Structures are given as C-alpha cells and as structure tokens.
C-alpha cells in the first residue's frame, strides 16, 4: 500500500488549504482513512476520519472549519481546511486500514480511531499558519 499526501503550504490566519491523500494498493472491501497532525513537541492528534460507509468524524477543534471527503476512500481522500488558525500548524499525515469491527465501533460511537489502529501511513505534508 502506498499513500502520498500533498497540498500543504504556508498561509495566513483565516486562509484555506486543501490536502489530498492518494492511495494505491488498498484492496480491502471496507476501509477507514483518517487525517492526523503533529506539531513540534506535541503528540500526534486525530483530525478527521472517513469510512467507506460514508461516515465522517471530526475533532472538536476543527469542526465547522475542516471537511473530509472522498469519491472513493480507497483511492483519494481530501481534507478541505478553511478559516485556518496558527494552532492548526503541523505535519499532516493520512492513515488507512481495513474497517475492522473494532474500528467501526469507534466510528459508531463518534470517535476517530487512534493512530495505533492504522497500519498504512503517508510521509506527511507540512501546514504552517501564520498570525
């Protein structure tokens, strides 16, 4: 499985960016793809998730500003980021794995699955928001 993120960059507060996660080789019937981010010196943070069932979930910190979407989550997943804030700065990673029973339970409960639930990761794309 190969995953490649793109679309990162530097913007000012209030600006927008659209990240893309291109996926190849993911052959499971049902999958979950999640965006994570990590700022220097901080733990990796869950941002947004989408499943092949159509479920989408967001971290409270990005609700109403970020939108995760995909025509086919096994091929490409987008993260539209609007009204960006300096605290959104970090390296953004996409992760994917089979939508297991346990992972689906996270989604049904309204929780983005943790990083430990995902086997496949991209190399990341940097987002910098200046004030």
Q: What is the pLDDT of residue 24?
A: 95
pLDDT at 121: 98
Radius of gyration in angstroms for the set of CA atoms belonging to the chain, rounded to a whole number: 14
As given in the structure block, the two tokens for residue 60 are 């409270």
pLDDT digits (tens, 9 = 90+) for 85-122: 999 999 999 999 999 998 989 999 999 999 999 999 99
- Of the pLDDT bands very low, low, confident and very high (cuts 50, 70, 90), residue 34 is very high
Q: In the prediction, which pLDDT does 73 show?
A: 86
Q: Which residues pair with 6 in a beta bridge?
A: 20
> 36-67, pLDDT tens digit by residue?
999 989 999 999 999 998 899 999 999 999 99
- pLDDT score at 80: 98
């Amino acid at each position: 499985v190969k995953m490649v993120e793109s679309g990162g960059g530097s913007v000012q507060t209030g600006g927008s960016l659209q990240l893309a996660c291109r996926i190849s080789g993911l052959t499971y019937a049902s999958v979950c793809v999640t965006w994570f981010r990590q700022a220097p010196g901080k733990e990796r943070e869950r941002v947004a998730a989408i499943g092949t069932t159509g479920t989408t979930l967001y971290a409270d910190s990005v609700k109403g500003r970020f939108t995760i979407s995909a025509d086919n989550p096994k091929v490409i997943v987008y993260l539209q980021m609007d009204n960006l804030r300096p605290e959104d700065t970090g390296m953004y990673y996409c992760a994917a794995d089979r939508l297991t029973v346990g992972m689906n339970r996270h989604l049904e409960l309204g929780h983005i699955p943790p990083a430990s639930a995902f086997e496949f990761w991209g190399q990341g794309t940097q987002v910098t928001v200046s004030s």
